[in-house]
Amino acid sequence: MDLFLSALDILMRWDVALALLVGSVGGVLIGAIPGVGPAVAIAILLPATFSMDPIVGLTVLLGIYGSSMYGGSIPAILINTPGTAVNALTTYDGYPMTARGEPRRALSLAYSSSFFGGIFSVICLILFAPVLARIAPMFGSREIFLAALLGIILVVVAHRGQALMAGALAAFGIFLQTIGMEPVKYSQRYTFDQPFLQGGINLIVVVLGLFALSQAFVLLTAEDERIRTTRLSGGSLFQGMRELLRHPRVASVSAGFGVIMGMIPGVGEFTAQFMSYTYAQRTSKRPEDFGRGASEGLIAAETANNAVPAAAMVPLLALGIPGEALTAMMLSVFYVHNVVPGPGLFQNDMDFVVALYLALLILNVLVLAFLLVATKSLIQVVRIPNRFLGVCILTLSFVGVYSLRNSATDCMLAAVFGVLGYILKRLSLPAVPIILGMVLGGIMEVKLRAGMARVKTPLDMIDRPVSFILFLIIILVLATQIRRVWLDRRDLKEAEWQSNHRSTSFGRLLLRRKSSFLMERGKLQRARRLTWYRRLMDLF
């Protein structure tokens, strides 16, 4: 009880309350604008948070992170354009509801599902906080090194179909982190006698370049579309909670998927959404309605993605290991204020941790209240021209970069990374591994050097229970990835063989049966690939 009151006392400050309000409302507005997203907004605001208290700066960033998905559902439902990338699945059942004249019902259901997912996640984490406090002291230098290594591996494996490129980009991020003065002997690494590289490449410069500037370039080069808005008619914005209560199993399982996937570095909203949506469809009495305006599909998508943000704070706070770019940006706020996330944070500053979770709890209430009042006005946000947004983001980004160290060189470096980010977007390649490579690479280097003082043989790295378990998980993940690649290549060869024998009806029949078998076993990606080959064969 004393811990709760101490955390509540932190949140009662006027600046923290203002940060909660600004973060929640600002996040909804950012999420409702297609093409911007929370990563761009957080990257722009990051330099400004360095002058704030840690709790104030983190509350603003958490507000944007947690509430942007609420706002992203508005254009996804009304105009079939997701406001943020993670709202793409919302369009499957949200827009068909709008098309048949039920936009109020769809929005209300999305708000209620998001609210349930967010509250469920925060309550779970508050209940698990004492467990985390007991587990955290078991992590020493070797354990944190292995956890960071596991984080990078999971990030690479999560980019299925692009794992090799994701690994190369993560390695590039690790290389960027090594540039500058070496932290132990203070020797220069990869500076090539250039003074501006001696201080290293600032993480915030890279973040602003890869996310904010690259998105500005995309918006400036894209054609403006004439976006129509839909009148809100039919139903009440308050009816969604009643409808949500009619599907408690789908809502609770989807929130559970969001919590579990959020705790695993490199997995995040997309995997949680896919698993939740698949579960809801398989257990539904009317699976044929999914993709045509099924309320269960909308509940699964929105509940899962809003349960992730609070859960994603667990590896960040408990181990100091971010699982994605947004939490990596928040980690820099900790470092600027000499607050070190990890085992010591749960031992020495537990009230600070509980205050963050209570802030997330209050955040969800504020966002829901704001959306129920301001939805009609928010619809107009989707009409902002792309090029106007691009110019605003470009200006704010360069102002933010220059304010870091009053350096024009940082602005030039940010522009270089902005062009790199633009190229990656055009090639549909992920930029997140670069950021996580920079953050986790630095953690791995420091912890490996600290841990090697007590390591005499390679087996000494895994001679403790936690390190041994992490090592086994790493081996299991790598083995699973190798098996998955082997199975995909085998199926591809089978499909190619069948395409060479496409004139025979037996070949088509065999491929159909293979595809149906894989669909029954849940191997959706492989089944879709084989179905595509079968359709291609049928054309000939």
Q: Which of 360, 383, 406 is the last residue of a domain?
A: 406
Can you give the pLDDT at residue 379? Answer: 67
The mean-pLDDT minimum among 10-24, 38-52, 458-472, 492-506 falls in 492-506
Q: Specify whether 402 is located in the same domain as 472.
A: no
Query: In this predicted model, which residue has the larger pLDDT, 403 or 473?
Result: 473
Can you give the pLDDT at residue 419? Answer: 92
Interior angle at CA 266, CA 262 and CA 267, nearest 5: 50
Can you give the pLDDT at residue 528? Answer: 53
Alpha carbons 400 and 396: distance in angstroms, whole number: 6
Query: In this predicted model, which residue has the larger pLDDT, 458 or 189?
Result: 189
Query: In this predicted model, which residue has the larger pLDDT, 223 or 436?
Result: 436
Can you give the pLDDT at residue 85? Answer: 65
Q: Which domain holds residue 360?
A: 2-138+199-210+226-406
The total of other beta-carbon atoms located within 10 Å of residue 310's CB is 31
The mean-pLDDT minimum among 210-219, 329-338, 417-426 falls in 329-338
Can you give the pLDDT at residue 535? Answer: 47
Residues forming a β-bridge with 180: 189
Residue 506 predicted with pLDDT over 60: no
Q: Specify whether 384 is located in the same domain as 469.
A: no
Residue 302 resides in a domain? yes
Q: Specify whether 273 is located in the same domain as 203.
A: yes
Q: What percent of the chain has pLDDT over 70?
A: 80
Q: Specify whether 116 is located in the same domain as 231.
A: yes
Alpha carbons 84 and 99: distance in angstroms, whole number: 21
The mean-pLDDT minimum among 19-23, 128-132, 180-184 falls in 128-132
Confidence of residue 539 (pLDDT cuts 50, 70, 90): very low
Can you give the pLDDT at residue 526? Answer: 52
Can you give the pLDDT at residue 7? Answer: 72
Residue keyed to tokens 């909804």: 28
Residue 52 resides in a domain? yes
Q: Mind listing the pLDDT tens digit for each residue in 144-156? A: 788 788 878 877 8
Residue keyed to tokens 């918006």: 219
Q: Specify whether 294 is located in the same domain as 206.
A: yes
Q: Specify whether 402 is located in the same domain as 469.
A: no
Residue 453 predicted with pLDDT over 80: no
Can you give the pLDDT at residue 420? Answer: 92
Residue 470 resides in a domain? yes
Query: In this predicted model, which residue has the larger pLDDT, 234 or 271?
Result: 271
Can you give the pLDDT at residue 44? Answer: 76
Residue 115 resides in a domain? yes
Query: In this predicted model, which residue has the larger pLDDT, 237 or 398?
Result: 398
Confidence of residue 540 (pLDDT cuts 50, 70, 90): very low
Interior angle at CA 272, CA 267 and CA 275, nearest 5: 120
Q: Which of 388, 406, 424 is the last residue of a domain?
A: 406
Q: Specify whether 399 is located in the same domain as 496.
A: no
Residue 314 resides in a domain? yes
Q: What percent of the chain has pLDDT over 90?
A: 2
Pairing mode, strands 188-189 and 180-181: antiparallel
Q: Specify whether 274 is located in the same domain as 356.
A: yes
H or E element at residue 200 = none
What average pLDDT does this structure show over 52-58?
A: 81
The total of other beta-carbon atoms located within 10 Å of residue 520's CB is 9
What average pLDDT does this structure show over 318-333?
A: 73
Residue 340 predicted with pLDDT over 60: yes
Q: Which of 83, 114, 115, 76 is nearest to 98 (CA)?
A: 76
Can you give the pLDDT at residue 236? Answer: 57
Query: In this predicted model, which residue has the larger pLDDT, 53 or 382?
Result: 53
Domain count, the chain: 2
H or E element at residue 1 = none
Alpha carbons 274 and 264: distance in angstroms, whole number: 15
Confidence of residue 502 (pLDDT cuts 50, 70, 90): low
Q: Specify whether 16 is located in the same domain as 128.
A: yes
Residue 538 predicted with pLDDT over 50: no
Q: Which of 406, 428, 453 is the last residue of a domain?
A: 406
Exposed, middle or buried, 350 (CB in 10 Å: 0-12/13-18/19+)? middle
Residue 128 resides in a domain? yes
Mean pLDDT of all residues in the chain?
A: 76
Q: How many helices (H) and strands (E) does the chain have?
A: 23, 2
Confidence of residue 26 (pLDDT cuts 50, 70, 90): confident
Confidence of residue 172 (pLDDT cuts 50, 70, 90): very high
Residue 476 resides in a domain? yes
The mean-pLDDT minimum among 275-289, 311-325, 422-436, 522-536 falls in 522-536
Q: Are 369 and 191 in contact (CB under 8 A)?
A: no
Residue 256 resides in a domain? yes
